[in-house]
Amino acid sequence: MEAQPHEISCTCGHTYETALTVNWCPKCGQKIFETAKERRNHKINGYYMYAVIGLAIVALAYFFFQLIIIPVLSM
């Protein structure tokens, strides 16, 4: 079941027809969302990815110090 084409307007003023709910503006390159709910979900997913990447870096740093730096310095 395909979505029906509809017009989407960007903040730059460009209007075009698309069947997708999330798309990139061909004029300015900004991401355009059909609803506010999709915009909010995109923002939450971004925060989630930053948190996961940050926690991975912290975990790697912790294990690096615990397994390499501390034993080498205690010799």
Do 15 and 8 form a contact (C-beta atoms < 8 A)? yes
Any idea where the domains of the chain sit in the sequence? 1-34, 35-75
Q: What is the pLDDT of residues 38-63, one digit of tens each?
A: 999 999 999 999 999 999 999 999 99
Give the per-residue pLDDT at 75: 80
Q: Beta partners for 16?
A: 8
Widest Cα–Cα separation across the chain: 69
1 or 56: which leads in pLDDT: 56
DSSP annotation of 11 reads T
Give the per-residue pLDDT at 2: 67
Q: Residue 46 — left, alpha, or beta (φ > 0 → left; ψ -120 to 50 → alpha)? A: alpha
